[in-house]
Amino acid sequence: DAQASTTYVNPKLAELLGYSVEQMIGRAVWAFMDEADKPLAAANLERRRQGIAEQHDFKFLHENGKAVWVILNATPLFDPGGKYEGVLATVTDISERKRTEEATLRRNAELAALNQLAQALSKLAEPAALLELIYQVISPVLDNRNLYIALYDAAKQTVSFPVYSMEGRRIPWPGRRLSNGLTEHIIRTRAPLLLTRNLMASARALGITPGRELRSYLGVPMLAGDRVVGVIAMRDHEREDAFDPGHQEMLSTIASQSAIALENARLFAETERLARTDALTGIANRRTLFEAGARELSRARRFGHPLSALMLDIDQFKQVNDTYGHARGDEVLHVLAQRCQQHIRESDLVARYGGEEFVILLVETELRGARSLAERLRDLLAQTVSDTGEGPLQVTVSIGVAATNGETVDFAALLQRADEALYAAKQAGGNRVEVQQS
């Protein structure tokens, strides 16, 4: 009528929206619409008063809350005297068409996101950057604010959670040893897990203990060949039907791309580590030493900080190899390197220089402090005993100490001075520390 109250509703429309005719009579038509469409429907009322007939797509809400899309044709009604009496509206259900359109739009968005992800993943080598990119792609495309990415460490039998989002907020989440949770089930079965209705009961039937109450869960493994890299999962605490096979297909595609990228990043990092590490002792190699030395010398000059170097050599090492064999000699090198590594600061560096010679780079350390550390290391290493199978083996070391001064032109010059001090220590009988004063 003229006041926008419904005076007639046919049974078909009432059935379409899940109401009785009596429930709809006397209420404005926009009372049954989605909130977003109500302003447009109310605004169009004035155009009806002006005699304008129109049709629009509107989103109504079924009594159960589900969307019902319709085309609403509105024709204004006037009495013989031209007075506005109301509107005659006919409604056509287009819900199926809208669902198809929305599915097409969603699929196009997913394909665009997958293409974007594939291109970006191929350019990144840092795992942290890869994980952040994956999170940024998944959240909007799959419209989920509760997701996590878990990484699996097979050697340690642990899972970590570098990405964990709850209601759109990134929060730190502790790692753990493998248990019988949802994540671990996916790792063990190497298969996706989609749980919707009766989630908790379904999980328990699989021998899974969810960490907290959930209504829907979707998790897929990240597989690189035969290796499980980790798990990508989404959760919903309110809706039982939050995820479907379409979500699973999309998430599985993302997981597949992500696993390959993360595995490539791991292999790249491992290759870089091997290129910078001495294979025998597990400490930094000569290349890493000179790169770090040049960098720290530049930093020391810029900020006026001291920089010191210790050059260390095992006394009479040839006799160790000749007496006990090269395998025992290698063991001595490894033990010595690890002892040195354990007794320096995180900011310092111990590296194998070559043969039985090692260099320890001490940042922001003056000559006195460097000599003090050298004496402690000499004493410590002299007390280190290796079991040869033929009795205990003890070795001693000689150490040369040098620090930067106004004449230190480059890192090689600093090492040369430490080497000269080492030579003096060896000439004096070994098992001693000598300092290159200038």
Residue 263 has what pLDDT?
86
CA distances from 317 to 17, 355, 391, 393 (A): 91, 10, 17, 12
Closest CA relative to residue 314, chosen from 168, 188, 431: 431
12-31 per-residue burial string, b: 16 or more CB within 10 A, e: under 16? ebbebbebeeeebeeeebbe
Instruction: Give the residue numbers marked as catalytic.
Output: 356
Q: What is the CATH number that goes with domain 11-93?
A: 3.30.450.20
Averages of pLDDT over runs of 10 residues in the chain (438 residues) are: 88 93 91 89 82 90 91 91 90 90 77 72 74 81 84 95 90 92 95 90 87 87 93 91 88 89 84 91 96 95 94 94 90 94 96 96 96 96 73 88 87 96 96 89
Say whether 286-435 and 11-93 share the same fold: no
Q: Which helix (H) or strand (E) holds 392?
A: strand 392-394
Domain boundaries, the chain: 11-93, 99-274, 286-435
Q: Element (H or E) spanning 354, and its range?
A: strand 349-354
Per CATH, domain 286-435 is 3.30.70.270: yes
End-to-end CA separation in angstroms for the chain: 103
Q: What is the pLDDT of residue 48?
A: 84
Is the pTM higher than 0.85? The answer reads no
User: CA 268 to CA 286: how far, in whole Å?
Assistant: 20
Superfamily, domain 99-274: GAF domain (3.30.450.40)
CA 417 to chain centre: 45
pLDDT of residue 128: 84
